[in-house]
Structure 1
Amino acid sequence: MATFTAEVFSNEFLPEGATDVHAIVSVKASGVDANAGFGAASAGGGAAEIIIFDSSGSMTGRNMESAKHAAAVAVDTIPDGTYFAIVQGSHVANRVFPYPNAPVKIVQMEPGARAEAKRAIARVTPSGGTAMSSWLLLADEIFATLPPGVRKHAILLTDGKNESEPAGNLSRAIRRVQGNFQVDARGVGDRWVVEEVREISTALLGTVGLIADPSQIASDFEQLIKASVARGIADAQLRVWIPQGAQLLFVRQVAPTLEDLTPRRIDVNPLTGGFPTGSWGNEEREYHVAVRVGSKPVGAEQLVARVQFTVDGQVHASGLVKAQWSGDANLTARISPEVAHYTGQAELAAVIQEGLAAKSAGDEATATVKLGRAVQLAQQTGNDEATSRLRRVVEIEDPDRGTVRLKRDTSKLDEMALDTASTKTTRVRK
């Protein structure tokens, strides 16, 4: 039976005049059965997978053959009974399987469908440009034919820039499909734009990743499918109540990856917002909640927020964020290790992205400062993976002070690897 726990970390003591309260909320799910479904909406649900792969002209050669092989591996990995479809994307999107003349847009996996889907994939040939908005809209159209409660997930693979449609089309398509399904997006090689692909995965509650070599596509697809079908909870919300007159500054997922949930708010009532978190398996995620309240006199106490984890509208775990104003500097000067850690991780992601953007624009002075700060933050928060990736872009002279020099003739793939991994976080050292 699925169980959920929530734990709140913060320093509830505020000095006189203080108004902002920060808390880290850790939510853990265990006992989730991927096959059983969970809650009312999942009772007849199950899972659905759509594989979307780039078939534009730039994919000609090894990329295309590797993508087709990876799609076939994904088809082999999808369990029987799971709804699935295959989409090829260029300047238009086309359904590869079920075939365009089929009476249904998505089918449940069984041996015959598996074999036919792999035959259909093998016949795909590359041509045309790249217009990813059409890929997402077709996937949304396919998913819309499913009954309520189905867990909807897609894998999207591209190797190039979204250059075959007017500016703004992709962003509009993302807004249109947001909340309807999740997407894990991947780019292969060094010709795609991290910011474009990250926009898709961030808005659609997925991950973004670099596949440096086409031979790695198949294993990545296989892992993504296995992770997706293991999530037995179709959709969950983090709900945050704040008192009248208070201001919710932001709600962010801070582990295992950084995701700003604030723009996704759905009003539950005038004082409560629901923030979609996507599907869940047996896992732990952590969230940073920041609230601004009116300052109170020393000795006053206030309930600042009530945070709840809900599935199908039912509350399964909750935690309270409290504040107490104090004149004791020993109490108010304390910094919650959890809040400090994830604040540093969020800054680390920002300065990596800003530093790489400055480097790309030829602003070496700004790039050096930003990437130096990134090295310093990675050192302070124990993010060894970030430090390792940064070493491929800068020469580190003093990690504690963030003293670095930009490397000359760095590999674009190394820069893209640093960029795509910038939102991955490390957990607090216990």
Structure 2
Amino acid sequence: MTFSFAVHVDQNEYLPAGGRLMDAVISVTLTGDTLGAPGVDRGLARVVLLDTSGSMSGNKIAQAKLAVNAVIAALPDGVRFAIVAGTEVATMVYPSTPTLAEASAATRKKARQAVGRLVAGGGTAIGTWLTMARQLFEGTTAPIRHAVLLTDGRNEHESTEQFHDTVLACEGAFTCDARGVGDAGWQARTLERVADTLHGSVRGLPDPTTLVQDFREITEKLMGTAAVDVSLRLWMPARAKLRFLKQVFPRIVDLTDRGTAITPRVLEFPTGHWSAETRDFHVSVELGEGEVGEAMVVARVRMSVGDHESPEHRVRAFWTDDPVLSTRISPQVAHFTGQQRIAELVHDGLAAHQAGDLPRATDRLGRAIDLAKQAGNAETVDHLGKLIEDDGAGTLRVRDRMDQVLREMADIESKRTTRVRPEE
């Protein structure tokens, strides 16, 4: 399989006299002749982590079984896989011992039968499920090691510190998509901790009947994986300091503290597995003061996969006394700065609502909706709109009572972004 990374830097290179902050958006697209082609062996191992705690009883466990069976049915022969039931402990569903099975007609049938016998009961300790997944993946050399985690409840049977330590211990061992199902219980911050650290996606699914389609979409994307363990490498000169590096499309993920120094001037940031897709990264660098007429390379960016590296692309700075040049707006930087502001406003608004400060909550969420409309982010507008109501006199205000699932969905959706529209 051949692939390459197309990298584009969008910025206003000009700074005013005394200007010290340079922002740029790095757009990266993975392309190649065989990306997503059927029949290409990509070396895959999968683990399904299924919440079977007591709160999953009824339609949720029934729909979850259907979704897991859809995953099992789509496993190509030879793929290593396992199904794990999660309560306050992790229990092997199939195979019955802590190892990975090899997919075949016989093992797929046995796995579906084992899933069919599952019943809901017990508590929730998600860290134990992730630990089991890590141990299972230690037994395979498959380059693509992927888990999907489904839960409907709070992570109540382990400390926050234990959970965070477990998630960090799993980084690099496998990727994980995280899903919350149902209209109560699950928490956005728990799912985001898993997905953001383990380079997966995160979604809330209030309607359990959407699980099957969602799991199918996860499988389709996974089968299109073309580049494994991709890193973004960032060089900066001695007089520059990284303020932040964030993935800003398709979802806002702060990567700033996850860089590893591979030389005194180069940091390497993990970005997980890639299929045929585009991602955008916002880099912000603080510089020493420059004189008018001075120019410098602020950063050098390249993508890395094993021994393969993309060509280098540069972020530059030129100091000028021409205000026309220094006040130019970079469309990409402005667009993604606005969408990061949406997430901040939603976080602030939800915190204000929980504290009983409804005027502040109304202000912050209303401003977030306005920014989402400007960005063309219809899904975020739709989710945030459910938090607002008309008071009967034509004035919009935040709802006095807000279902937990609406808050959690808003928290997740506020971090899903759109790219700059063509007319911009």
| Length-normalised TM-score, structure 1 | 0.92
1:411, distance to aligned residue in structure 2 (A): 4.2
1:186, distance to aligned residue in structure 2 (A): 0.6
Q: Is the 1:37–1:46 contact (alpha carbons within 8 Å) kept by the matching residues of 2?
A: no
1:72-117 per-position Cα deviation (integer Å, ceiling 9, x unaligned): 11111222232211111000001211222xxx71133221111111
CA distance in 2, matches of 1:329, 1:35: 50
- Residues 1:418 and 2:410 aligned together: yes
CA distance in 1, matches of 2:390, 2:271: 37
- Residues 1:221 and 2:249 aligned together: no
* Corresponding residue number in structure 2 for 1:33: 35
The one-letter code of the counterpart of 1:345 is: Q
The one-letter code of the counterpart of 1:10 is: Q
- Residues 1:47 and 2:44 aligned together: yes
**1:318-329 → structure 2 map (5 Å cutoff):** 318-329=312-323
1:293, distance to aligned residue in structure 2 (A): 1.4
Deviates most, 418-427 or 295-304: 418-427
**1:21-420 → structure 2 map (5 Å cutoff):** 21-31=22-32, 32-34=34-36, 46-100=43-97, 105-147=99-141, 150-189=143-182, 190-395=184-389, 404-420=396-412
Q: Is the 2:188–2:409 contact (alpha carbons within 8 Å) kept by the matching residues of 1?
A: no
CA distance in 2, matches of 1:199, 1:396: 34
* Corresponding residue number in structure 2 for 1:429: 421
Look up the SS of the partner of 1:168 in the other structure.
Answer: helix
Q: Is the 1:131–1:162 contact (alpha carbons within 8 Å) kept by the matching residues of 2?
A: yes
Q: Is the 1:37–1:45 contact (alpha carbons within 8 Å) kept by the matching residues of 2?
A: no
1:3, distance to aligned residue in structure 2 (A): 2.3
Task: Rate the CA distance shift 1:37–1:346 in 2: closer, same or farther, 3 A.
Answer: farther
CA distance in 2, matches of 1:417, 1:306: 37
Task: Rate the CA distance shift 1:146–1:355 in 2: closer, same or farther, 3 A.
Answer: same
Q: Is the 1:6–1:25 contact (alpha carbons within 8 Å) kept by the matching residues of 2?
A: yes
The one-letter code of the counterpart of 2:166 is: A
* Corresponding residue number in structure 2 for 1:41: none
CA distance in 1, matches of 2:259, 2:276: 24
* Corresponding residue number in structure 2 for 1:400: none
Q: Is the 2:152–2:186 contact (alpha carbons within 8 Å) kept by the matching residues of 1?
A: yes
The one-letter code of the counterpart of 2:339 is: Q
CA distance in 2, matches of 1:352, 1:230: 33
The one-letter code of the counterpart of 2:35 is: D
Q: Is the 1:48–1:82 contact (alpha carbons within 8 Å) kept by the matching residues of 2?
A: yes
Task: Rate the CA distance shift 1:152–1:317 in 2: closer, same or farther, 3 A.
Answer: farther
1:222, distance to aligned residue in structure 2 (A): 1.2
1:307, distance to aligned residue in structure 2 (A): 0.3
| Length-normalised TM-score, structure 2 | 0.93
Look up the SS of the partner of 2:191 in the other structure.
Answer: helix
CA distance in 1, matches of 2:320, 2:259: 33
Aligned residue pairs total 416
Stretches of structure 1 that go unaligned for 5 or more consecutive residues are 39-43, 398-402
CA distance in 2, matches of 1:18, 1:213: 50
CA distance in 1, matches of 2:63, 2:421: 39
1:267, distance to aligned residue in structure 2 (A): 1.4
Task: Rate the CA distance shift 1:62–1:172 in 2: closer, same or farther, 3 A.
Answer: same
CA distance in 2, matches of 1:387, 1:139: 36
CA distance in 1, matches of 2:160, 2:12: 45
